[in-house]
Amino acid sequence: MATRDAGAVPGGWQVQRIRIGEVDYPYYYGVDCLDLVLQELAALDADLFVVVTDDTVLELHGQALLPGLRALAGVEVISHPPGEAMKTLPVLAADLERVLAAGATRRSVVVGLGGGVPGNLAGVIAALLFRGVRLVHIPTTTTAAMDSVLSLKQAINSAIGKNHIGTYLPPYAVFTDVALLATLPDRELRSGLCEAAKNCLAIRPEALPRLREVLAGGELSTPAALLWLLDESVRAKSSVTVDDAREQRTGLVLEYGHTVGHAVELADHRRRGNDGVSHGEAIAFGMVVAATIAHRRGWLPAEIVELHEEVVSALGAPLRLPAGLTVDDVMDVVRDDNKRGYLPPCSESIAFVLLRELGRPAGDPGLPLVAVRLAEVREALEVVQSREPVLTGADGEVA
């Protein structure tokens, strides 16, 4: 895998090959490099660019990208109000019909512009059009740049739960200009870095000292910090997916924090819509719950749980459930987690990624999941809800 020079030059970029199973694709990243993105897109010889985004991203970044795209080929913009509501079957069906009516062919290119939600919708659209057309990602959030585009998984939500409907499609390429990430609101920036923190805790603990330095410095939006976090995310995800393209074996460690995290995210969004807890914040909270379960089993010492709380608190993510959300609300959703079926069925337990130590998941190395009784999950949630914050002043709630 290619390495990045420590001092990235504005207007230039680096490229790494992302290898996932038998698939590999280029990931270009740099600072102030949209002109280079357009040069690469011009080489695709597309007859139509289908840009899938949300209204907020379109307003922020549309004028920086769309005029250049229109100089290359026709452009059809598919944009929706931001949030999980755009990842549904009715939205997908309407978007596909619209793209076909706009004249899409097998030479067309779908461009996912934005965060993980429009990126996922773009991936499913690209996978279904003519049984698969070229997909490129231009992430504008830390969550997308450091997590969701480093995967072949493309999915939308069902009425039952998150990411239940989807497929696998490798992107043709990924282009990240960290100057776009630096424009994110502070909460959204930090939320996306929760996935990078997950990688350090569950996969690459050797990166934790540097992560703690970056968090303590408080300058997460600098190009240097963002490029380092991006490098770490690429290394971590590549190390567990290189022989597991579908993330159904070793790659399942990437689900650390997601069992409870997805349940919290979905339950809160059903209640508060886009004002609900973000994906990254929910995953961070889920990691604290997972660490608590492992501690109660005697697998992790108290200081590792405290380390989880330190990192989560420094990222501004919740150490408690969002106000108004109850343990019962979370338990109602957690039963439908999308990891069902990996372990022998049991109505009283669910599959979990737990750690025996930092960077060492419990269970078989080839299938890093263990069964956790629903009663254990409830008890851990109640412990976390009642526990005094380890760090002074960390109230843990999300507004």
Domain segments of the chain: what residues?
13-184, 248-386
End-to-end CA distance of the chain: 41
| CATH no., domain 13-184 | 3.40.50.1970
Question: Would the pLDDT of 391 be above 80?
Answer: no
**CA distance linking residue 135 with residue 149, whole number of Å:** 11
**CA distance linking residue 316 with residue 336, whole number of Å:** 28
Q: What local confidence, expressed as pLDDT, does residue 96 receive?
A: 98
Q: Which fold is adopted by the domain 248-386?
A: Dehydroquinate synthase-like, alpha domain (1.20.1090)
Query: What value does the mean pLDDT of the chain take?
Result: 90
Question: Would the pLDDT of 221 be above 90?
Answer: no
Compute, in degrees rounded to 10, the torsion defined by CA atoms 84, 87, 89, 95: 130
Q: What is the pLDDT of residues 160-211, one digit of tens each?
A: 888 999 999 999 999 999 999 988 888 888 888 898 999 999 999 999 999 9
Task: Give the pairing type, strands 153-156 and 134-139.
Answer: unpaired
Among 108-112, 124-128, 148-152, 220-224, which is the least confidently predicted range?
Answer: 220-224
Question: What is the SS3 assignment for 376?
Answer: helix
Q: What local confidence, expressed as pLDDT, does residue 11 receive?
A: 54
Stated pTM of the model: 0.82
User: Is 311 buried (19+), middle (13-18) or exposed (0-12) by CB count in 10 A?
Assistant: buried
Question: Would the pLDDT of 399 be above 60?
Answer: no
Average pLDDT estimate for 265-279? 90
Q: What is the pLDDT of residues 330-386, one digit of tens each?
A: 999 998 887 778 888 788 999 999 999 999 999 998 999 999 999 999 999 999 999
**CA distance linking residue 29 with residue 234, whole number of Å:** 11
Q: Which of 84, 232, 247, 255 is catalytic?
A: 255
Q: What is the pLDDT of residues 9-55, one digit of tens each?
A: 445 788 989 988 889 999 999 999 999 999 999 999 999 999 999 99
∠ CA 285-196-220, nearest 5°, is 100
DSSP 27-92: EEEESS-HHHHHHHHHTT--SEEEEEEEHHHHHHHHHHHHHHHHTTSEEEEEEE-SSGGGSSHHHH
Q: What local confidence, expressed as pLDDT, does residue 357 receive?
A: 97
Can 153 be counted among the known catalytic residues?
A: yes
Can 255 be counted among the known catalytic residues?
A: yes
